[in-house]
Every structure is written in structure tokens, then in C-alpha cells.
Amino acid sequence: MKQQDTIPKAALQFLRLFLRHDLVDEVTGDLEEMYSFTRLTRSKYIARLVIWLEVFNYIRPFAIRKQTVTPINTWPMYKSYFKTAFRSMVRNKLHAFINITGLSVGMAVTIVIALWIVDELSYEKHFDKYPRIGRVLQNVTNNGEVQTWWTLPWPLAEELRKNYGSDFSNVVLTTGLQPHLLTTEDNKLNKTGLFAEQDFTKIFSLEMVYGSSHTLKDPSSILLSESTAKAYFGDKNPLGEIITIDRDKKLVVKVAGVYKDMPSTSEFSNLEFIASWDLLFNATDWIRSMSDPWRPNAFVVYTLLAEHASFEGASEKIRDAKLKKVNEALAKKKPALFIHPMQDWHLHSKFKNGVKEGGRIEYVWLFGVIGGFVLLMACINFMNLSTARSEKRAKEVGIRKAIGSLRSQLIYQFFSESILTAFFSLLLAIGVVYMMLPYFNTIADKNVSLQWTNTTWWLTAILFCLGIGIIAGSYPALYLSSIQSSKAIKGAYRAGRYAAIPRKILVTIQFAVSIVLIIGTVVVYLQVQHAKNRPIGYDTNGLVAIPMADELHTHFDAVKNELEANGTILAMAEAMSPTTQQWSSTSQLDWNGKDPDLSVDFGVISGSHDYGKTIGWEIVMGRDFSREYISDSTAIILNEAAVEYMGLKNPIGETIRSSNAPYTVVGVVKDIITSSPYNPVTPTLYYLSTWQENFLVARLSPTISPAEALTNIEAVYSKYNNEVPFTYEFTDESYARKFGDEERVGTLSTIFSTLAVFISCLGILGLSSFMAEQRMKEIGVRKVMGASVLDLWKLMSRDFVLLVTIASIVATPIAYITVSSWLENYRYHLAMPWWAFIAAALGTLLITLLTVSWHTINAASINPVKSLRAE
């Protein structure tokens, strides 16, 4: 742009900001002369610069404008503002109630969600070396898709240390977290813990109460959590006490340290003991004498990155570390190792086709967005109602101005009023959160609490209140304070036709958000129901899984007969795993017509005779295992998924080779859901076992109460074994746990959406009452002219119906995109429920009409004499 050859306008404007009014004219004149004088000799840029300097040189005490009136009685004025604010609240109880309730409910929801999110984000952060810790995982190709496996063969840790050590400070091998029986002289309890190599404590920092964390190099030492130590030894120092782990291996260890319990925000929250890997290795035959130790994936490897290394770089280097070691058949799976950084353990641990794809982070986003929306809606209400109501206060403004109130005083008055309301709501919200938090913790399965001493929380809350107060108060403060007092007092002040438009837009946004939330909640609920209604292939009712003890295997028939005789159970069998889980899988499979290059991974479940009868599976072809056929020790039953995957036309009688041993298919059962109810069922093989299994499964007789049945079982159980404590789990309960996350999300989002809808209803209620009041005279005139209540009701509701319609049109595509991408996460999901969209729109319309009617019908049925009398 071309620089103009005139005195800089901005400089003059700036000058007028502070200069005494009586000086403006002469000073501007002087500056004009100064400019043309300078231009005689210098360029226009210099001249303009000179003027700027001159203007700055006028910032002197004599030239600066003084305030013409100085209010001396500031404090009583503020007292008066608060008094007026309070009085106007009392006069408009409904408005005050809606304003404060809406805002405080919104704030309470936001605070709760914020607490939840902060808790979710704080996982594992208590470990000193948090940013450098990782867990090694592997991507393997099975049945034509890439799966991510969490466990690894045990020699891998040593291999990583030896050949890939440059990227790692430490690599440790551990077992998975599992319950073990820990026995002292006086006590016998199942405690969850792991066996780890000695460097475990160098990666995961422990806060020690007694002893040292570096004692794991002695294989006969054990570290206990504080609460475990307390359970066994009370308050005395437990160092040096003797504990026996597991009754079959009889691992004798000495307490060498006690660490503070892990916080609930950790993968290791239930880590109750840590024992030495060497101890387990030397005492466990199946680990020590594996024919191919690179084959079974049953162990966990944690790494600590070296200072200079990155997770990506290290992952790239170790990628083929396992592939190079495994046999030819396993190499078909193309195992690719990578490191899962600790930052991602909690929130980003869902993998699809070997690529990280979300996880709990989706819930964090979901609730974050819901919280944001609820807050937005509460703010919209607050703003709408404040502005709507303030129009009624135009007269007050007029009077105040007429008796000498300054504009700045009016601005202060409105701001102090709205900020005060915001702070009042905050106090209320904190109170509500304080009372509701225990219930929230139960529903959300969390342990969050209000951060009374956290300054960041307080600062955010206070800043937020100031912000919302200022935004909501800005319309009355800045606009109303500018109107002429004479007009306002005469009542000539009317908000223009367009004054209501921002309010209408805000209400439409509110409706749209409500509709999206309603649709989302309905879909979450339907999806959970859909998965719950999925046929699971067996009967969970009255089915119990009991961890096995040696004696019960040897006396199996006696136990069974006794329990059947006294009517406790209908059937009983031994099983490898509880029916809700599948613990083992095999890839050493071959059948006629199998593509030799195909890498497969079939689930394996074994059970004793009567297993099928006990769990109540459904045979669709062939027969169940039977005691009548001795050949059944090499028989096999397939599930439907396996038959379909193998492409067998007549599965009965087919021979399948597992680890080169031939098995004959005798039956096919309906698919049994063992993993997530949202995923397709894995092809699975069922064997008949004669060896000792891990669990007893029993179907309780429906004729006696479960409590009585359990007492009977425990009596028999402890008759044959008094070393292992009796524990049990109902299968329907453990199956229900598969829905835990989704159900929690469903419940929470239902609660939050209900509150959101409630808040927007409050808003509409307030607005409609305001509108009814404003149009009181119009209604009166119309009634006199013969309008019926119904006509008036239609007239008043029309606006809102229009807004809801627009909102539905806006909300539908947004809801569709969100809902369908959420459903995509589940392989087993319901078809898009279009009726939910229509129902949500109609429901919102209905609620709106009901809310609006509350006031319109009131207004419409008032005797017109009342509303018109004043004229």
C-alpha cells in the first residue's frame, strides 16, 4: 500500500485517547504545522515518524485528561449493586433458580469429568523412569490377519540383552501377573504377583518401606507390598520371615523388602509380591526342559531405553529378533517385535492389524467432548437468560443514569452481578460434586477425589468463573449502559428485531447438542444390549468355576458322586480354563486341503468327560465325547467357526493332525464366546482330557439356593484338601464383566446426557417465560379479539418448533458420523438404528413443547383484563 503523504491518523487517534479535551484542537494544529514543516526538508516517512515522537512526548502530566468526576463512595456503591442484584434475583425467583442451577449443574458435570480425565491421564506417571519404559509385544500373522500378542518366549530377554543391547539400559523377563498361594506358618492366602529377573526394580522404581529393592539377585528373596506384608505379619517388621509359594513347587523364600502399595492408576495396581525369576525357572520343569523354548509365548519382557535411544528406533532394530530364532513353521507367522511405550499402556493399547488404534483414549475424548458440551450448554443458558432479563432492566439503567450514575459504574454493576452469580454457582457445584463423588466412583470404577489443595484446579475454576461472568455480563454491561436515559425511562427502549438472533442461534446449538447426545446414548445402550443378546453357545446359569487342587483330581469321582447324591449339582467336569476364557492356542495344525503356507492359530480347550454336558453346549453335528468309545482319547470336537474356516463339507470323520498326531473329528458344536462378545469367535478345537486340569466346572442344581450349594461344595472340597483355600467364580458374573467398560460408558453417558438435556430444558423454560412475559399485552389483545388458548399456544410455540427442526437437521449428519465410526470399532455390531434419530428429534420436540407450554398456557389463560388494565 502506498504511504499517504499526510499526518498519520493513528497517531492523532492515539493522542485523543489521553489528551485533555481543551488541548486537542491546538495540539493537532501544531502537529499539522510540524508535519508540513518537516516535509520541507525530509521524506514523508521521517515526517510521520517525527509526528509519532511528538505525540509520545505529549504524554506528560499536564496534558493527560483527568477524570472529571471521581466517585468517592465506591464501597457503598458496590454494596448497593449487590443489594440490587440480590433483590432482582428474589423478584425473579424462577430466573435466578434456572441461572444458578443450570450453571452449577454444568460446572459440576465438568468438574467430575475433568477429575476423571486427569485420573485417566495420570496412569503409570509415578514411575521415575516413566518416559523410557516399554513392553515388548509382537505382531503375528494368523488366519490371514495380523494379531498383536502380549506375551513372548522366555529366551527373548537374554537375546535382546546380548545382541540388541545398545538401545537398552535394562531388559527384564517376567511372568504374567497371576495369583499364587503364599503360605506362612499362620496364614494361607492367594496373592497376585510375578516372578522377575533382578533388574525389574531398576526399571520400575519402588518406594521401599523396609529393606532394599535391589535384593532380587538372591533367588530366595521376595518383595512384598505393604498391605500384603500387613496381612501376613501385622505391623511388625517382616524382613527375614519365611514364605512358601505354591504348594506343588514349594518355593521357599525370605522377605527381603516391603514396598508401598502401587497406586490404583497403574497396570501394576494389584502387584502384591515380586519373586525371583531364577527361583521359578530352577523349580519348574516345563520351562527348564522345553524342547523348543522359542515356541511357547507365555512371558513378558520389559525394557528401559538407553538415554539416547528412541522407541521407534529400538522397535525397528529388534523387529526380527524373534523371527531369526524360531523354527520354519512358526516363521510363517512373521513375528515382528516392537516396543509399546509406557505412555501408551493405559490409553492406547488397542491394536488393529498390528497398528495402534485407540483404546481408552476414545473414552477420554468422548467424555471430554460431552463435558465440554454440557458446560457450553450451561454457559449458553446463563448468557441467554442474563441478556434476556437485562432488557427488562433498561428502566433501571435509565433511572440510574438520570440520577448521575456514570457509564463505568453501570458496567461495573452488571459485571459484578454476573461474576457473583458465576461464583455462587461454582460454590454450589463444588458442593454437589463433593456429595456425588462416591456414587460416581462406584459407577465409573474409579477412585478420584476433589483436589482441595491443588492450586491449578482453583486457579482454573476462578479464571473460568471470571471468564463466564464477563462473557455473560458483557451484553448488559456494554450495550445497556450506553442507551439514553430519557428513552429508557419513557419505555421507548426496545431491543431491535435482530437482538434475538444470537440468542436463537445459541438455542439451536443447544438443541443440536442435546439431539446428538441423545442419539449417542441410545446407540451405546442398543449396542451393549445387542452384544448381550448374542447367542453365547452355552448356558451360564448356575455354572461355577472352581480352581483345582491335586486331591480333587485324584478323588474326582468320589467328589462328584457325593455332590450329585445330595442334590447340590447337576453335572461336573474338569476344564483347562473357565468357560469365559480360552487360555491356549495352537498353530501346529494340518488337515486335508490346507494351504501349506497358511499360518493358523486355533484356540484349544480341553475338558474331561461330561464337560460339554456341564456347560450345556449345543452339538450341531456328530456326537459329544463318550465313555463308550475308548478311541475318544484321539477324538476332537470342532466349533462352527473352525469348520467354516477349514472349509470342511463333511467334518465328521475327518482327520486333523495336531503337532503331527492324528485326531478324528467326532462332532461339531455351536460357537462358544470365549473372548470379547464384540469379536468373531476364534476357530477352536476341543479335546478330551484325562490329565489333571486347572478348574472344576460345576452346574448347580436349580432346586437349592446357590449359597447352600456353595457351602456343600466347600465342605466336600475341604474334606479332600485343606491346603488350598476354596475359591469360586460364577460364570454369569465373569461373562458380565466382559461388558464392564461398555456398560460403564453407557451408564455414565446416560447420566451426562440426561443432565445436558435437563440443562437445555431449563434454558428453554427460562426463555419461554421471558417471552410470555414480554408478549403479555399482545396476548391480551389477541384474546379480546377472540383468539383461543390453542391459537395462542401455537403462536408462542412456533418459534421453538422451528429451532428444533433446524437443530435436528444439523444434528443428524454429525450424530451419524460419530455413531457409525464408534460402531465400526466393534466387529459384532448392530445396524444403524435410524429410528433412534427420528425418536431423538421427536423426543426433543416433545420435551420442548411441554416445557414451553408450561408458560404459554399460563399466559394464554390469564384474563386479558389483568394484562391490559394498566393502559
Partner 1 sequence: MIETRLGDFEEVLMLIIGILGEEDTYAFRIAQEFKTQTNRAVSIGAVHSTLDRLENKGFLKSQTREGTSERGARVKRIYSLTALGKRVLKEAMEFKLGLWKQYPAFSAKFNMS
3-state secondary structure of 612: helix
* Residue 26 or 628 with smaller CB distance to partner 1: 26
Q: Cell numbers 507365555 label which residue?
A: 298
Rounded to the nearest 10°, the torsion over CA 635, 640, 645, 649 is: 80
Q: How far apart are CA 696 and CA 571, in angstroms?
A: 11
Residue closer to partner 1 (CB basis): 33 or 723: 33
Shortest approach of partner 1 to residue 33 CB, angstroms? 5
Place of cell 501394576: 268
State the sign of the Cα–Cα–Cα–Cα dihedral 341, 347, 350, 351.
Answer: negative
Q: Return the number of the residue (2 or 60) whose C-beta is nearest partner 1.
A: 60
As measured in angstroms, the least distance from the Cβ of 45 to partner 1 is: 18
Q: Which of helix, strand or coil describes residue 568?
A: coil
Please, what is the minimum distance in Å from the beta carbon of residue 500 to partner 1? 45
Comparing CB distances to partner 1, the nearer of 58 and 204 is 58
3 state DSSP class of 188: strand
Q: How far is the CB of 59 from partner 1 (least distance, A)?
A: 8
Nearer to partner 1, 19 or 366 (CB): 19
What does DSSP say about strands 635-639 and 661-669: parallel, antiparallel, or unpaired? parallel
**Minimum separation from the CB atom of position 7 to partner 1 (A):** 9
Q: How many CA atoms lie within 13 A of 205 on its CB side?
A: 11
Number of helical (H) and strand (E) elements in the chain, helices listed first: 30, 26
Q: How many other CB atoms are there within 10 angstroms of residue 561's CB atom?
A: 12
The H-or-E segment that residue 563 falls in is: helix 556-565
Three-state DSSP at 508 gives helix
CB nearer to partner 1: pick between 40 and 90:
40
The position carrying cell 388494565 is 869
Specify the residue, 64 or 850, whose C-beta has the smaller distance to partner 1: 64
Residues interacting with partner 1, by CB under 8 A? 25-34, 36-37, 53-54, 57-60, 62-63
- Contact between residue 12 and residue 31 where contact means Cβ atoms under 8 Å apart: yes
Nearer to partner 1, 57 or 68 (CB): 57
Give the nearest distance from C-beta 37 to partner 1 in angstroms.
Answer: 7
Q: Are 755 and 513 in contact (CB under 8 A)?
A: no
CB of 12 to partner 1, least distance (A): 11
**Least CB distance to partner 1 at residue 22 (A):** 10
Closest to partner 1 by CB, 26 or 595:
26
Name the residue type at position 561. N
Nearer to partner 1, 52 or 78 (CB): 52
Which of 648, 690, 681, 680 shows the shortest CA–CA distance to 665? 648
> Which residue in 335, 313, 337 sits closest to 326, CA to CA?
335
- How far, in Å, CA of 176 to CA of 268, rounded? 11
Closest separation between CB of residue 58 and partner 1, Å?
4
The amino acid that residue 755 corresponds to is L
Is the Cβ–Cβ distance between 501 and 634 less than 8 Å? no
Please state the closest distance from residue 48 (CB atom) to partner 1, in A: 15
Q: In 694-759, at which residue ranges do the beta strands (DSSP E only) sit?
A: 695-700, 729-730
Residues 6+ apart with CB under 8 A from 302: 133, 134, 135, 136, 171, 172, 174, 200, 203, 204
How does DSSP assign 418-438, residue by residue? Answer: HHHHHHHHHHHHHHHHHHHHH
Closest distance to partner 1 from the beta carbon of 74 (Å): 30
Choose between 64 and 355: whose C-beta lies nearer to partner 1.
Answer: 64
- Using H for helix, E for strand and C for coil, what is the string for 103-161? HHHHHHHHHHHHHHHHHHHCCCCCCCCHHHEEEEEEEEEECCEEEEECCECCCHHHHHH
Q: 61 or 813: whose CB is closer to partner 1?
A: 61
Q: Cβ distance 200 to 274 under 8 Å? A: yes
Query: Which is nearer to partner 1, 46 or 802 (by Cβ)?
Result: 46
- In angstroms, the Cα distances linking 710 to 544, 546, 707, 721 are 9, 10, 5, 16
To the nearest whole angstrom, how small is the minimum distance from the Cβ of residue 63 to partner 1? 7
Least Cβ distance, residue 64 to partner 1 (angstroms): 11
